[in-house]
Structure 1
Amino acid sequence: MPSWAAALAGLVAGAVAVGVSLPAAGVVKASAFPPAAAGAAAVDLAPAWLKDWAIRTFGEHDKTVLLAGVLLVLAAAAAAAGLLAARNPRYGPAVLGAFGALGLLAVLTRPGAGPADALPTLLGVAAGVFTLPLLLRRALAPAPAGRRRPSPGPGAGPRDASGPAGGSDPRPASHPDPLPGGGSDPQRPAPQTPAVMRAGEELRAFDRRGLLTAALGGAAVAGAGAVAGRLLTGRAEVDTARAGLALPRPAVPARPVPAGSDLRIPGLSPFFTPNRDFYRVDTALVVPRVDPADWTLRIGGMVDRPVELTFADLLARPLVEADVTLCCVSNEVGGPYVGNARWLGVRLADVLREAGVRAGADMLLSSSADGWTCGTPSDVVLDGRDALLAVAMNGETLPVDHGFPVRLVVPGLYGYVSATKWVTEIKATRFDRDEAYWTPRGWSARGPVKTQSRIDLPKAGAELPAGRTVIAGVAWAQHRGVDAVEVRVDGGPWRQARLAEAPTADTWRQWVLDDWDATPGGHTIEVRATDATGRTQTAERAPVAPDGATGLHAVTVTVT
């Protein structure tokens, strides 16, 4: 059998294994899907520098790239299983079983995993082990009539297909025996397609059509599994529930956005970031699909009265609107992982006061539906800022990618310590007793947002005509507010930029310098912001780890 055929049989068997495990994971839970669990384990084990490199290199596509990498590794293993099984039928199942064991380990070590989570992996491996030899058999068809190997006669010793009992004949079985003098017997049939033969069995030759037909059948099984998995994971139901959700009007509307908050300069980030453009950075390879009818939020730990809320309970409470800018700690100086939105939700502080958070509980450990955890300083949530259990974003129900049905929004803190998506539990505890997901991986436990500014116009590397040129961008210092922005060109004097209005200290501010007289040549433009406490952002460069990048954003342009 050609090597490509054996490898194809392995690939199809692997696809069947994945296709069977996906709907099984839909019945159990999404995190029990072996490739997703393996990818999540890779994220957990990856050092901080590798995570930062992935975000810098692939941006918001980092999870897609990781999952594709996991599937490529599985494909390579499946192809190897096919090649080995063509040599020895026992090798293929051994390879598939070994990778199944790794997948099972990844699944069972996920947060909240139980014995039932093993089912998708076990069913997938069983399907692959069953499919591989079936494909290999279909790849071999009976040889043409007249090429059957007779069984040895009574009393004959064991014989193989190429020689007498107890020995072997080095000549290929498909070649006729030579006559004395080097000729061939013209009465013997001509050589045929290479065949596999055993004593007492008919010869079997490679059957391309049989293999391809069987492979198409296996691919159909894998595809049907993918469709069934989509349905069973509740994706359609959750999308329907989200689309049909009618949000109550806010009891406390957001302040009107002042005229002049958006300078409406083409190419400048708008005051409100559209939901489709809002950055997404999280660890979820498979986005949790949480039906609001099944969602509950449990608040416990160091509280006097544990609280449990359903989604209906949450919507029955007074809802508050707030304009809040969110920023990821992985955002490099001048990076894209920052956005501003109008959020609608319930004040978290009100719910915590009902629960009665005890003195000494300085951390709120929140958990996501997929097991991710986040540690938020409790004093920040309780100091009067608009920390929300958010249910809507920019006037529409939360997108699934951004935490539907409920997420946390806390102004002034990086997302890794404040912005839990798909939140299901909040535990009042202490920083010296519990750690959230990123803290043991080398990140700061608290994470207040640092004052930063970014140049949106002109773009880095742009070629500009000489003359009057607009320089514009955004600056943020959540819950302190931006008081001033300055710009300089080629290390010259700092010049004050004009600031757009901002409704609160929790949003970013647009800024513009529209009278730069650009002269021919190369130029470097820098920006810095000063927050309302009087602190100007530092020019000292620091990486994103452990608590956010620092430095001045600069772009280089060419004027012609």
Structure 2
Amino acid sequence: MSKSSVPAWAGGLAGLVSGGVALGVARLVAGVVGPSSFPVVAVGDTAIDAAPAPLKDFAIRTFGENDKAVLVGGVLVVLAVVAAVIGVSARRRPSLGIAGFAVFGVLGALAVLTRPGTGAVDLLPTVLGTLAGAWTLRWLLGRATTLVPAWAPERAPQPAAVHGGAADDRHEVPADEPERPAVMRPGGAVAEFDRRRLLTGVAGGVVVAGAATVLGQQLGGRQAVDAARADVALPRPTTPARPLPAGVDFKIPGLSPFVTPNRDFYRVDTAIVVPQVNPNEWTLRIHGLVDRPIELTYADLLGRPLTEADVTLTCVSNEVGGPYVGNARWLGVRMADVLREAGLRSDADMLLSTSVDGFTCGTPVDVVMDGRDALFAIAMNGEPLPVDHGFPVRQVVPGLYGYVSATKWVVDIKVTRFDADVAYWTPRGWAEKGPIKTQSRIDVPGSGDKVKAGRTTIAGVAWAQHTGIDAVEVRVDGGQWRVAKLAEVPGPDTWRQWSIDWDATPGEHTIQVRATDAAGRTQTEQPAPPAPDGATGYHTITVRVS
């Protein structure tokens, strides 16, 4: 037998486990080097950067906050399939296995090198993972075969025919002499498939891959960062938020609460793996068109005057009636105070903020400096920022979509100009400046719900951050607009609950809502997609009354 005696399923299994070992070792090394050096993350980040805007919009609409998990899962599925194919091919030619892993190692290394701030040391996870995978594949395929002696038939010698008393070298056998049976002689060794040895090797490979992955995640710093976050003692605000007025929340079942719990707050960002930033090592650098560059530590921020503010954040990718909006009470240092200390130059009109993972956004200087509560936020709803929402420090700017204002894990602010620098989303088809558009949403009843005939409540939220909501109107089946009741609000930077009673009659009905902000602007009926500067149109639902 030859190497081809290993069946295809066994080669595929060996390739799959070898790929798992490669990723496990890479994850382990990345836990020491840094999470951005993990090749799967680098490939995912590269895919996000290269994907056209319509594809990004589709991913957010379809998968919501799980879009990164779906992308990483897709990358892993592709890697698993390719690893299995490599294993099948390597049954006959082991060199194909080495070549296959080498190709993926090169692709992973190129993806890592495209990430901001990477260097030669960031290639270690890819290189060591590739070597571990290639070695494991050879080892498993070696275990899949066992050398056994080969026995070959050999004709037993026949008595020589005698002619004239001498042996005739033609070894003729008399016709009446019976033929003697063949005998077996040892003839070397051949490789036979050994299922048991392969499966025990596979089990060992699975254990190594799993243990390396878990250890790598622990080394990645989540536990250390969680512990550091738990140790943060938040100072009392120098300027506390106004107490929430009575009647700020109607407390209608199904209606979004005025304050969104941290666990329910939407998350939309470009981070495949949530950055783990130790506050004791964090710094914020402010430079560019300033007279006095500044570098702040986390302790510096906590020691400065802190402002508390209720602010609603909205993602530009939110469809009309979508879920990517939430309201929280934030605590932080006013950005304007820090920028004045740095000495803004008169020609500056943009703040190019950078996250620890390399994401950038461009915020208009005039918006930050006009007196609104634009913050370097350190807390959310009374606790240090959740890691998923930017711990230790993020930006919060009322009135701007998040893609031009709400940088999480912020570490750098370059004071610059829009004609000199470009932020992450601008070359991808989104507007340079993203003022939030007046919007409203129906929360109850839900679209497609069945409603009982008679008096029922229609309710939802509306927002026009830093302008405020002045009125909300509802109409049914294209009829007359009716003015809804508005909840109280502490200021213009939050969303506002609304409700209205409706005498529902049997049948199918269409319900629409529109809002008017405090500047007298009523949202347009004209529908438009989120790109390039936010969706428009009336939120419309259909219900069946019985």
Q: TM-score range by the shorter chain?
A: over 0.9
Give the deviation of 1:148 after TM superposition: 5.7
Per the alignment, residue 153 of structure 1 pairs with: none
Distance 2:151 2:286 in 1: 75
* Counterpart amino acid of residue 139 in structure 1: A
Give secondary structure in 2 for the equivalent of 1:72: helix
Distance 2:187 2:70 in 1: 52
Give secondary structure in 1 for the equivalent of 2:192: strand
Q: Are positions 1:240 and 2:245 aligned together?
A: no
Per the alignment, residue 83 of structure 1 pairs with: 88
Q: Are positions 1:14 and 2:16 aligned together?
A: no
Give secondary structure in 1 for the equivalent of 2:94: coil
Per the alignment, residue 519 of structure 2 pairs with: 533
> Which residue of 42, 47, 60 maps to 1:42?
47
Per the alignment, residue 111 of structure 1 pairs with: 116
Give the deviation of 1:200 after TM superposition: 7.9
With over 3 angstroms needed to count, the CA separation of the structure-2 counterparts of 1:114 and 1:203, relative to structure 1, is: same
Distance 1:394 1:328 in 2: 19
Q: Are positions 1:54 and 2:66 aligned together?
A: no
> Are the aligned partners of 1:149 and 1:203 in contact in 2 as well (CA < 8 Å)?
no
Give the deviation of 1:201 after TM superposition: 5.2
> Are the aligned partners of 1:36 and 1:67 in contact in 2 as well (CA < 8 Å)?
yes
* Counterpart amino acid of residue 310 in structure 2: D
Q: Are positions 1:303 and 2:290 aligned together?
A: yes
With over 3 angstroms needed to count, the CA separation of the structure-2 counterparts of 1:200 and 1:43, relative to structure 1, is: farther
Give secondary structure in 2 for the equivalent of 1:90: helix
Q: Deviations over 1:211-244 (max 9, x none)?
A: 1111111111111211221122111100111112
> Are the aligned partners of 1:539 and 1:550 in contact in 2 as well (CA < 8 Å)?
yes
Give the deviation of 1:245 after TM superposition: 1.3
Give the deviation of 1:474 after TM superposition: 0.1
Per the alignment, residue 368 of structure 2 pairs with: 381
With over 3 angstroms needed to count, the CA separation of the structure-2 counterparts of 1:544 and 1:342, relative to structure 1, is: same
Distance 1:240 1:437 in 2: 32
Distance 1:232 1:297 in 2: 24
Q: Deviations over 1:100-140 (max 9, x none)?
A: 11111110001111111111111111111111110000111
Q: Deviations over 1:136-177 (max 9, x none)?
A: 00111233xx53689xxxxxxxxxxxxxxxxxxxxxxxxxxx
User: Aligned residues, how many?
Assistant: 514
Distance 1:25 1:249 in 2: 38
Distance 2:104 2:124 in 1: 15
Q: Map 1:212-361 onto structure 2 (within 5 A).
A: 212-361=199-348
Q: What's the RMSD between the two structures over aligned residues?
A: 1.4
Give secondary structure in 1 for the equivalent of 2:42: helix
With over 3 angstroms needed to count, the CA separation of the structure-2 counterparts of 1:17 and 1:462, relative to structure 1, is: same
* Counterpart amino acid of residue 224 in structure 1: A
> Are the aligned partners of 1:148 and 1:203 in contact in 2 as well (CA < 8 Å)?
no
Per the alignment, residue 141 of structure 1 pairs with: 146
> Are the aligned partners of 2:151 and 2:184 in contact in 1 as well (CA < 8 Å)?
no
Distance 2:497 2:332 in 1: 26
> Which residue of 524, 528, 533 maps to 1:547?
533
Give secondary structure in 2 for the equivalent of 1:79: helix
Per the alignment, residue 486 of structure 2 pairs with: 499
Distance 2:150 2:100 in 1: 35
> Are the aligned partners of 1:149 and 1:202 in contact in 2 as well (CA < 8 Å)?
no
> Which residue of 85, 92, 100 maps to 2:97?
92
Distance 2:218 2:263 in 1: 24
Q: Are positions 1:123 and 2:110 aligned together?
A: no
Distance 2:482 2:193 in 1: 78
Per the alignment, residue 179 of structure 1 pairs with: none
With over 3 angstroms needed to count, the CA separation of the structure-2 counterparts of 1:234 and 1:148, relative to structure 1, is: farther
With over 3 angstroms needed to count, the CA separation of the structure-2 counterparts of 1:148 and 1:125, relative to structure 1, is: farther
Give secondary structure in 2 for the equivalent of 1:247: coil
Q: Deviations over 1:302-341 (max 9, x none)?
A: 1100000010111001111000000000000000000000
Q: Are positions 1:102 and 2:102 aligned together?
A: no
Give secondary structure in 1 for the equivalent of 2:317: coil
Distance 2:191 2:457 in 1: 77
> Are the aligned partners of 1:468 and 1:517 in contact in 2 as well (CA < 8 Å)?
yes
Give the deviation of 1:187 after TM superposition: 6.4
Distance 1:100 1:149 in 2: 45
> Are the aligned partners of 2:152 and 2:184 in contact in 1 as well (CA < 8 Å)?
no
> Are the aligned partners of 1:365 and 1:426 in contact in 2 as well (CA < 8 Å)?
yes
Distance 1:391 1:423 in 2: 11
Q: Deviations over 1:397-439 (max 9, x none)?
A: 1100000000000000000000000000000000000000000
Per the alignment, residue 518 of structure 1 pairs with: 504
Per the alignment, residue 155 of structure 1 pairs with: none
> Are the aligned partners of 2:31 and 2:220 in contact in 1 as well (CA < 8 Å)?
yes
Per the alignment, residue 170 of structure 2 pairs with: none
Give secondary structure in 2 for the equivalent of 1:95: helix
Q: Map 1:197-208 onto structure 2 (within 5 A).
A: 202-208=189-195
> Are the aligned partners of 1:474 and 1:508 in contact in 2 as well (CA < 8 Å)?
yes
Distance 2:466 2:184 in 1: 93
Give secondary structure in 2 for the equivalent of 1:86: coil
Question: Rg bigger for which structure?
Answer: 2
> Are the aligned partners of 2:390 and 2:409 in contact in 1 as well (CA < 8 Å)?
yes
Distance 2:114 2:226 in 1: 29
> In percent, how many aligned pairs have the same letter?
68
Give the deviation of 1:204 after TM superposition: 2.1
> Which residue of 444, 469, 473 maps to 1:482?
469
With over 3 angstroms needed to count, the CA separation of the structure-2 counterparts of 1:493 and 1:134, relative to structure 1, is: same
Give secondary structure in 2 for the equivalent of 1:202: strand
* Counterpart amino acid of residue 196 in structure 2: R
With over 3 angstroms needed to count, the CA separation of the structure-2 counterparts of 1:201 and 1:47, relative to structure 1, is: farther
Per the alignment, residue 67 of structure 1 pairs with: 72
> Are the aligned partners of 1:414 and 1:448 in contact in 2 as well (CA < 8 Å)?
yes
Per the alignment, residue 161 of structure 1 pairs with: none
Distance 1:201 1:265 in 2: 84
